Structure formats: C-alpha cells, structure tokens
Structure 1
Amino acid sequence: MEHLIGAGCSEKVIAHARAVAWVATEYTDDEVVDRSLIICGALLHDIGRSESHSLDHAIIGGDICRERGLPEEIARIVERHLGAGQTAEEYLQLGLLPRDCMPVTLPEKIVAHADNLVKGNGEIHIEERMIKILDLPKNKRRRTYRLALEMELFRR
C-alpha cells in the first residue's frame, strides 16, 4: 500500500486495489501460480491512476513501477491489466504511444481477469462485465470472455 499512498492514489483507488487483490487470491491455489507476485501486481495494478484516470493509466503505472525499481514482472502486470489487454495498434488508434500490453503470463492474466470482476470495491460476475463492455468492438469483448474462461480453470 505504501507505493499507492506514496504515488498519491486516492482512498477509492486503494480500496479498489484491495478488492482486486482479494479476488485474485481465488486464482492462486495451483502450485504453478506465484501467489505473492499476483497479490503484489493486483495491489499495484492501478498505481497509474495517481496521474491519470484515462486508458493510459496502465502504461503510466507500469512506468511508475519501473521508476520505483520494482521488478519488471510487476510493471508488466500493471501495464497489461486493462480488460484482456491492449495491442500496440489499439493504443495507437487511441492516440497513445504504441505499446503491446497484452497479458501473456499467468500472473498478468489473473490480475487482468480479477480487475474485470471488480467494480469499485465490490465483486461482480463476468456476465455483468460483459454487459458493461457491449459498446467495445467485438474482438475486445471476445478477448475478455476468452480470458475469463481460461482463468476460471484456476479458480478455487
């Protein structure tokens, strides 16, 4: 929490981060899962909201983690947590620097999925998330649902 507080994150962002970390723990019972890495990444996933509440907060957050000397695995979890990830082309279309921010590793996927299952500081069902993203392009909706199906294999 000290990194979030030190970066200037609001209590609302910190409460959300705690909720995401709590949901993420539901996916950490398998021996192939690095529980501490996932919890740390989940707690820090929105650190970029200390500077922006736009889509660029994920990239900003990854950069903040690197500036603070945190492990690269944490920085990648933070910058790859949006929905089911963002391609470099999708960021470019949004007028942002093109950076491939697709979750690849299991911790990256678990944190992205856990974030999809939290609204504010409360857990929601994937069906509710899917309804909330109906306005997104079909490929992004599919990606989000496929990520959910893949991650449910690890749920306690």
Structure 2
Amino acid sequence: MNINKIYEELSCSDYIIEHSKTVYERTKDITCLYDDVDLELVEYGAKLHDVGRSITNGIEHAYLGADLLRKIDVDERICKITERHIGAGITAEDARELGLPERNYIPETLEEKIVAHADNLVHGTMKVNLDFVIKKWQDKNMKEESIERLIKLHHELLGSI
C-alpha cells in the first residue's frame, strides 16, 4: 500500500500528514510493550487515521475518513481504526447526540486502541502526556464519562506510566 499515493489522491494537507507521522511515532511508545500487536496494521492505521480531515475538521472526519478508505479498497481493519480513533471512543448513544451515524465507535482491537490513544497523546505534532489531555478535555467541557474512558484506556495500554 502506497500511503503517499493515498495522501495525494485524498488531497491531505501537509499538516494532516505531519500530524499522522507524529501519531505513528507515538504508537511506538505503546507497541514496544506488546508481543502480539500487528505493527504494520498500526503503522497504516496511524498514518491514515485522519484522512477524513481532507473533507472536514469536525468530529465526523473519522467515519468520513473510513468511508473514503473503503471507496479505495483499503483493508477494513484500517478503516475500523480510522472510524474508531476519536478520543477513547464514542458510544452509539453519544454518536446520536453528536449527529453522527448511530453506531459504536469504541476501539475494540489492540491496534484500534493503540492508534486512538497515540492520537490522544499528540497535540498537533507535539507528543503530550495524559495530564495535558485530561486538562484539554476538561477545558472543552467533555463529558466526565469520556474522560474516564480516556483514563481507563491509558491504564489498559500503558499501566501507570
């Protein structure tokens, strides 16, 4: 799979590309803790997770990005990573409230969780820590339930680091 060709075909900005490369670098901080992770899947998922931002910067970029990837026959596992990478996931109920198609956007596989959380731990092209993310989410008045899901995901993947 030629990621640069996909970036070009979908008109991804330099910012999207650089952010996605930083997210990929951040995944390495997590994948090194696991023996059973599909590293190639994580790489493609991380590098393609934000292609929907070529259409919109809204929260819907995740499912729209997955749809774009499906149209060019990208592996469904990568499409799921893209679709489920927002925060620590979005429940079907929250999706409905947000105006998204009503389905579960909670990351399920190890690879989905790694990319979602690596994205949480990147701000633009800068690696950040959990405290930074919690503060950012609190400042955006994110639901407490979402913040708790973030903390749970962090501890599941990284323990107390």
**TM-score, normalised with respect to structure 1:** 0.95
SS at match of 1:133: helix
Letter in 2 for 1:147: L
Deviations 1:10-48 (A, max 9, x none): 101110000000000222232201111001100000000
Aligned residues: 154
Partner of 2:111: 107
- Counterpart among 129, 138, 145 of residue 139 in structure 1: 145
Percent same amino acid among aligned pairs? 37
Q: Kindly report the root-mean-square deviation, in angstroms, between the aligned alpha carbons of the 2 structures.
A: 1.2
Gaps of 5+ in 2: none
Give 4+ residue runs of structure 1 displaced > 4 Å after superposition: none
SS at match of 2:106: coil
Relative contact order, CA 8 A, sep 6+: which one is greater? 1
Gaps of 5+ in 1: none
CA distance, structure 2, for counterparts of residue 61 and residue 45 of structure 1 = 7
Residues 49-128 of structure 1: pairs in structure 2 closer than 5 A? 49-128=53-132
- Counterpart among 7, 10, 16 of residue 13 in structure 2: 10
**TM-score, normalised with respect to structure 2:** 0.92
